Structure 1
Amino acid sequence: MTVRNLMFAASALGVLAACSPAEPEEQAPPRAARIEAVQAAATSNQREFVGRVEARLTVDLSFQVGGRLAEFPVSEGQLIEQGVLVARLETQDFERARRETQVQLQQARQNLDRQRTLNERGIASDAALEDAQTAYDLRAVALDTARQNLEYATINAPFDGLISRRLVDNYTTVSAGQPVVRIQDVSELRVAIQVPESLIAQVDRGDEPEMVARFPFLPDQSFQLEYRELVAEPDQASQTYTALFALPDSVPANILPGMTASVTVNLPQSLSNQAQGVVAPLSALASNPDGSFSVWVFDAESGAVSRQSVLAGPIEGGQVVIHTGLEPGDEIVTAGVNALYEGMLVRPITSTNR
């Protein structure tokens, strides 16, 4: 065979090889994934919360002037009435400043009268009279300030309240604005609870849920709560809102701010129905670009997963209530959801082969 024939044969073989079908690519083996079946959420119309007793108002009292404490007659745990002396600074310096400004004001008055007389006689100029008037006005302001500082040296109770804490000791030298005592308005005690997002819309409605508080040291007594206010900003960590409810006036005197209460909420039937759905591990949720959530549903026949958008509800103890998108018994991926894609083959991991 000639060289020309050999080259022709090689070219023909290359064309045949190019036209022959390519071998199929080897499919990636299924990825191991933890699969769990979701269960129906509880439909009880009762919720339990841990509440904390708070005073209607808590204020740290301070002097508006600095000085040395001379009187501090209140004690921690004492109930006092409005206007009662709480603390007083040494007043010698303030009284001395007041007397000094009184003398200076009297001198300024005399000088003003003299300049006015001289001006009427044509001896003193109008400018001299204006300067005398300005000096008098400044001395009058200084006297008002000295009198005010003398009043600032005394703290009286702004309302009937409970002295919860003395922040300094008597005879301490304090600066202006430094808190010296904490007083609480206990005319109405309140219970603060952390409300999840799923219930927040019901807190201030006319058909608000019935709420009852109980204390561990009063096991046979319960106290009806009345809604007061809602802190509109959620907690950054738990995304819950603080709701405040008033205890009745008949609560025993041994219930004090800072104590812990167990709060039972009886939800309206309409709200308890909204809580229906399924419960899934929080780790099963995947974020969508629009801010919503989805889960990956496992198909046992094909071994593949598919994305399913869901409406997520309250989160409790690592579990999330899913209101729509899933039915009880559906199998979903509960770990590593960010590494999945549509139609991906997975191999279920059970408690045995793990």
Structure 2
Amino acid sequence: MRKTSNAIHLLATLLLITACDEKQTAQVEQPLRPVRTIVASATDGITGRDFPGIVIAENKADLSFRVSGKLKELLIKEGDKVKQGQILARLDQTDFKIALEDKQASYIKAKANFTRSAKLIEPGHISQREFDQIKATYSTSSAHLKAAKQNLIYTELKAPFDGSITKTYVDNFEEVLGKGKIATLQDLKSMEIEIDVPESLMIRVRRGQNNRAIHARFDAIKGEEFPLTFREISTQADETTHAYKLRFALPTIENYTILPGMTATVVADSVPTVDQDSSKNEIIIPAHAVMEDNRGRYVFIAEPEISSPTTGVVHRRDVTTSRLTNSGLIITSGIHPADLVITAGMSKMQEGLRVRLMVDIELLGQQP
């Protein structure tokens, strides 16, 4: 009986010790998991963005003959400077002169027939129908003669404006087709820079605004920027890229040779947008911060606690995305500027989890 009592007492003591250990274990606070975050930033999509541009001549023309034939004289070479009206190339005119003589003879004959028939129609020696046919033949021969004269003129290729020959495409004695490129003429005194702007950014540009600080940079000209003046914009997007072309006038750059085809970087310092409310602007975050499940795409944000700005509570936010850019993935809805977006360890996050924030405390003051 005494042995049974001792056993019961020992068992009770062990249970009490175990309960105390469990209580002490429960009271030990687990360390918070550190998370890396970034502050979501809003952008109007254009301000401060770099656009690759290409230098083009303000006046440029791909020159071609309007008729086909054998190239007899190519009077230019690449790099030549030419004046407006200067003959650049000439086709063999032999066949064109023969054709002109043939049309001339046909015209003389048709004119003579028309003159005689005009005197015979009133006395009734020929019918009105015959006269109409003779008159039509005369009109047709006159048109053919004019075309033959014009084709002979077209055998000479002339410069439409002053400029420089930047490229030639044929050699002497080649057979060339009408409208086939012979040379490219550019006016190198006046240059422009052309950029492509995606439609998603183009739609945000406010029309009628000229107070845009836009300048160009050249990699080979270190430390210098050149102001640009807006010139024109295409109203039709490219069918392949869905981008709109913008052109800017480039001022004359002293001590440097700027030629068509050179590349530049165009920077828009300030571009007014349709909606100036920053809460409706685009937000760009790293693409790897966006996850996806059967509910769609989402991110985890950390909401700082009032008691301690270095700790926060994790929340899931479903988001709508636009396109991927060099700066990151554009978020169109779901998060707001100054939200702390978790960028590492997302697979271990869950709703309501307390975490330690790895972000500059100064940035937390930006949160609305």
Q: TM-score under structure 2 normalisation?
A: 0.66
3-state SS in 2 of match to 1:201 = coil
Deviation (angstroms), 1:171 = 1.4
The residue number in structure 2 matching 1:228 is: 231
Deviation at 1:311, TM superposition (A): 7.7
1:280 corresponding residue in structure 2 = 285
Q: Structure 2 vs 1, CA of residues 166 and 334 (structure 1 numbering), >3 Å: closer, same or farther?
A: farther
Aligned residue for 1:214?
A: 217
Alignment match of 1:133 (pick from 128, 132, 135): 135
Equivalent pair of 1:40/1:277 in contact (CA under 8 Å): no
Partner-residue secondary structure (3-state), 1:211: strand
Give secondary structure in 1 for the equivalent of 2:172.
Answer: coil
Distance in structure 2 (CA, Å) of the matches to 1:314 and 1:198: 13
Q: Structure 1: which 5+ runs fail to align?
A: 1-34, 288-292, 337-342, 349-354
Matched AA of 1:127: R
Query: Structure 2 CA distance, aligned partners of 1:135 and 1:335?
Result: 87
Deviation of 1:119 (Å): 3.6
Corresponding residue pairs, total: 302
Q: Percent identity?
A: 27
- 1:216 Cα offset (Å): 3.4
C-alpha distance in structure 2 between counterparts of 1:62 and 1:284, whole Å: 55
TM-superposed deviation, 1:113 = 2.4
Structure 2 equivalent of residue 330 of structure 1: 341
**8 Å CA contact 1:204, 1:227 repeated in 2:** no
Flag structure 2 segments of 5+ consecutive residues without an equivalent.
1-34, 304-310, 356-368
Distance 1:179 1:146, change over 3 A: same
**Alpha-carbon displacement from aligned partner over 1:17-37 (angstroms, at most 9, x marks no partner):** xxxxxxxxxxxxxxxxxx963
Measure the CA separation in 2 of the matches of 1:246 and 1:71. Answer: 36
1:177 paired to 2:170: no
Aligned partner of 1:76 in structure 2 is 78
Give the structure 2 partner of residue 255 of structure 1.
258
Give the deviation of 1:172 after TM superposition. Answer: 0.8
Counterpart of 1:149 in 2: which secondary structure?
helix
- 2:111 aligns with 109
Map 1:185-196; keep pairs closer than 5 Å: 185-195=187-197
When residues 281 and 214 of structure 1 are mapped into structure 2, their CA distance, relative to the original with a 3 A threshold, is closer
What one-letter code is carried by the residue in structure 2 that aligns with 1:259? M
| Cα offset, 1:203, TM superposition | 7.0
Say whether 1:123 aligns with 2:121. no
Q: Which amino acid aligns with 2:342?
A: E
User: How far has the Cα of 1:250 moved from its partner?
Assistant: 5.4
Task: Describe the shift of the 1:314–1:224 C-alpha distance in structure 2 as closer, same or farther (beyond 3 A).
Answer: farther
- Measured in 2, the distance between the counterparts of 1:345 and 1:40 equals 20
Residues 1:295 and 2:305 are matched in the alignment: no
The amino acid that maps onto 2:298 is: V
1:308 maps to 2:311: no
RMSD: 4.3
Equivalent position SS for 2:325: strand
1:246 aligns with 2:256: no
8 Å contact kept, 2:69–2:176 = yes
Instruction: State the one-letter code of the partner of 1:38.
Output: I
Give the letter for the 2:118 counterpart.
R
Query: What SS is found at the alignment partner of 1:87?
Result: strand
Q: Post-superposition shift, 1:162? A: 2.4
Distance 1:125 1:236, change over 3 A: closer
Equivalent position SS for 2:140: helix
Query: What CA distance in whole angstroms lies between the structure 2 residues aligned with 1:237 and 1:345?
Result: 46
Q: Which residue of 2 aligns with 1:6?
A: none
Closer, same or farther: CA 345–268 of 1 in aligned 2, 3 Å: closer
TM-score under structure 1 normalisation? 0.68
Asked if the contact 2:62/2:182 (under 8 Å) is kept, the reply is yes
